[in-house]
Amino acid sequence: MQSIYLDNAATTPMDPEVVKAMQESMLDNFGNPSSIHQFGRKAKVAIETARKNIAKHFNVSANEIYFTAGGTEADNLVLNNAVENLEVKRIITSKIEHHAVLHTVEALQNKYGIEVFYVKLDEFGQVDLNDLESLLKQTDAKTLVSLMMVNNEIGNILPVNDVCSLCKKYNTLFHSDTVQVIGHYNIDLKKTPIDFIVASAHKFHGPKGVGFFYSKKEHSLRPMFFGGGQEKGVRASTENVHAIIGMEKALTISYENLEKDKEYVSSLKSYFIENLEDNFVFNGMSGDVEKSTYTVLNVRFPIVDKMLLFNLDLAGVSVSGGSACQSGANKGSHVLKELLLKDDAEKSSVRFSFSKYNSVEELNLVLEKLKKII
């Protein structure tokens, strides 16, 4: 039986060129970057070269890029610094953010008593910009807005330039979880002045356990945990050299082939939409190819079948019902619960997410299996 992987929003297969680059690094570049001898210096040069190359993709300085163990750590580091170090007293976010943001904001509220506001959303999960502006102009207290650029479950694309304009107008910091964006869309941070963005390498065919965040150079940051002085004193721990090199390689490949891959993956999503059987609904804006990412399609079927994902897996189709980070909790999607009426939220929804390694032939097989199972 052929196995078909359509859960690329959870994680992507590693590009063979990335694996090769990491293998070479593990064999030839094993020194500790903090050591002063030639092996340490060689590792340090590799890290700083990767940092410079990553920074170029976003039109920023290398000293504004910090390496982490992934997007969750990056979100935590940014949000904790905002409150503990940058004097933020209010955070405005939404109830359909990734839990790396929602749970961190909740913890900060409990610990420091900051004010937290949740911007209104329409029935499709689109941010109400008028409500956002209303929240921003309520007070002069230092505020941070945290809204993800692409939602990992329903694929909605934030009107990020509008949000940037509002944040600039009201002198507000802007953090965006861009995990589903990096490697899939170009971001010029000089033209789109976000204060903080985050990335996780395994979302763009790189290795797991490594990511980075960007912080504007005027923001002074402090570490969340302590040890050495790595990452300019912001993130203690010996750097994961081979993973950083793999991430840089994956990002370079992604941006070198961005338009070609985007066109191809978009065609797969459009084909899947056109060939789905009738009697289904798209969650969020995922069915709109202009207002959602080309990698994600979230489909609600007119049934309540708690075994649907399991049966699809038995049929060789790997998909998810929401964020992979919370699937083990068996609580369902907090995003769909927020947007849908109770009866609709209980119906079986499936997130199909596509990559350059998928094919029309695979999609045809998935469509056939869906007909049999549903």
d(CA 27, CA 172): 46
Residues 329 and 248 occupy one common structural domain: no
Domain of residue 355: give its range.
4-13+257-373
Ramachandran bin of 329, using left for φ above 0, alpha for ψ from -120 to 50, beta for the remaining angles? alpha
Q: What are phi and psi of 121, to 5 degrees?
A: -125, 150
Indicate if 8 and 73 belong to the same structural domain. no
* 275 and 248 fall within a common domain: no
**Radius of gyration from C-alpha coordinates of the chain:** 21
- CA separation for the pair 163, 272 (Å, rounded): 32
Report pTM. 0.94
Q: Where a domain ends, among 221, 256, 291?
A: 256
325 a catalytic residue: yes
Single out the residue in 212, 233, 256 at which a domain terminates: 256
Measured in whole angstroms, the distance separating CA 287 from the mean position of its chain's CA atoms is 19
Whether 304 shows a pLDDT value over 60: the answer reads: yes
Here the tokens at position 353 are 């997410």
Q: In Å, what is the CA distance from 369 to each residue of 31, 75, 295?
A: 50, 38, 21
Is pLDDT at 1 greater than 90 in this prediction? Answer: no
Element housing 369 (H / E): helix 360-373
Check whether residue 71 and residue 146 sit in a common domain.
yes
The catalytic position among 19, 189, 325, 374 is 325
**Do 96 and 221 lie in a common domain?**
yes
Q: Rounded to an integer, what is the distance from CA 348 to the centroid of its chain?
A: 24
User: Of 201, 230, 256, which one is at a domain's C-terminal end?
Assistant: 256
Q: Is 236 strand, coil or helix?
A: coil
Rounded to whole angstroms, what are the CA distances from 343 to 117, 135, 155, 287?
Answer: 27, 31, 22, 21
Average pLDDT of the chain to the nearest whole number:
95
Q: Give how many domains the chain has, as a whole number.
A: 2
Residues 339 and 228 in one domain: no
How many residues appear in the chain?
374
- Nearest Cα neighbor of 292 from 171, 145, 148 is 148
C-alpha–C-alpha distance, residues 180 and 100, integer Å: 14
The structure tokens listed for 167 are 């944040």
| CATH number (domain holding residue 154) | 3.40.640.10
**319 and 301 within one domain:** yes
Co-location of 202 and 115 in the same domain: yes
Band the pLDDT of 279: cuts 50, 70, 90.
confident
Residue with tokens 């993709």: 57
| SS3 label, residue 9 | coil
In 3D, which of 292, 341, 335 has the Cα closest to residue 94?
335
Side-chain half-sphere CA neighbours of 292 within 13 A: 26
We report the CATH number of the domain holding residue 275 as 3.90.1150.10
pLDDT per residue as tens digits for the range 98-108: 999 999 999 99
Tell me: the pLDDT tens digits for 191-222? 999 999 999 999 999 999 999 999 999 999 99
Least confident of 36-50, 159-173, 269-283, 310-324: 310-324
Q: Is the pLDDT of residue 295 over 50?
A: yes
CA distances from 101 to 18, 239, 286, 313 (A): 29, 24, 22, 30
Please tell me whether residues 173 and 54 are part of one structural domain. Answer: yes
Whether residue 226 sits in one domain with residue 138: yes
Shared domain for 86 and 220, answered yes or no, is yes
- The share of the chain scoring above pLDDT 70, in percent, equals 98
Query: Is the domain of 218 the same as that of 284?
Result: no
User: Which of 234, 369, 358, 110 is CA-nearest to residue 350?
Assistant: 369
Beta strands of 149-295 (E only): which ranges?
A: 173-176, 196-200, 211-215, 281-282
